[in-house]
Amino acid sequence: MSYTPDPYGPADPSAPAGGYLPPQSAFVQAGGDPYNDPLVAPPHAGVGGWFNRIGGVFRHSWRSTLTIIALTQLLPAIVLGVGGLFVGVYVGLEAFQTDPANGTVDIDPAVLLPLLGAGLAVILALYVVQLAGYAAATHSVTRQAAGTPASLGESLGYGFRRSLGLFGWYIPVALMIAVGALACLLPGFYFIAATALVGPIFLYERINPIGRSFKMLHNSGGRVLGRLALILLITIGGGFAVSAVQAVIELAVNGVSSEAFGPTANGVALITVGAIVSTVIGTVIQLPVTMFQFAGILLAYTEQRGYEGATTAHLNAELR
């Protein structure tokens, strides 16, 4: 008589507790065309395949991505810019007192130290909000590409749940980049490139994002480095455009202020308003560049996953 093991018996090994996914090949739909995968470029498609999928993200997910990035990237940037100007012009005058007799500057620690502490706390809080926006945009784009679109609230909820985890991983990343930059500029640039994929790796895989990002860079044969170089060039070009617009606004306001008011309180107020307007307009112009940075890095990661057999359906299942 043959023995049939009791699946519920205590002597038999139990099934894994969970957190496991089928192999990536299980998510490939029968008859699916890998060349039309919305997020994963087919192997050896080159820069064209990467750019095509960036265009697809902009065509199909631009509304949700724009809304999320505007709420979590644009608004914090404006708060930091405008708040920094206000603090620097008005509060900073109390911390730095100039002696008119000899021209020396006296620093008041009772004003300066609490100001620096409050500023650091605000910067860290807004950075966590920005990381939440990055995670939320990743969630929204992935769900949309997989044909299971999520609401704005669902994506933002996911983003804030993952924001502290992202923040924790970016602390050692920042320390590595800082140490590399202090040792020599070249190691700093290397660490920036080697850790560029930490964000998407944490959100999709959540297993040693730093080590995995290094491995992806080294195993890509220059693909990841080339994509990052293109993102950097486009970002620099966008930065020049923003700086040019801001410079024109500030020159015009400064010229009007010096002619109409001179070095008076009204003149300082007008210059401050001009700087605020310049900061807000510059931040708004920077928004499409920020969206391109997000899509470019995300799709550089998904392109590498394509060489491992992943598809959009598999990535969508991982994002939880």
CA distance 76 to 160: 15
Describe the crossing of helices 152-183 and 46-69 by its angle, rounded to 10 degrees.
120
Give which of 72, 41, 42, 34 is closest to 55, Cα–Cα: 41
Q: Is the pTM of this model over 0.85?
A: no
Question: pLDDT digit string (tens) for 194-204?
Answer: 999 999 999 99
DSSP labels, 71-131:
IIIIHHHHHHHHHHHHIIIIIHHHHEEE-TTT--EEE-HHHHHHHHHHHHHHHHHHHHHHH
Report the amino acid identity of residue 283. Answer: T
Position with higher pLDDT, 52 vs 246: 52
pLDDT of residue 145: 94
Question: pLDDT digit string (tens) for 21-77?
Answer: 555 555 455 445 667 899 999 888 889 999 999 999 999 999 999 999 999 988 888
Question: pLDDT digit string (tens) for 160-196?
Answer: 999 999 999 999 999 999 999 888 888 889 999 999 9
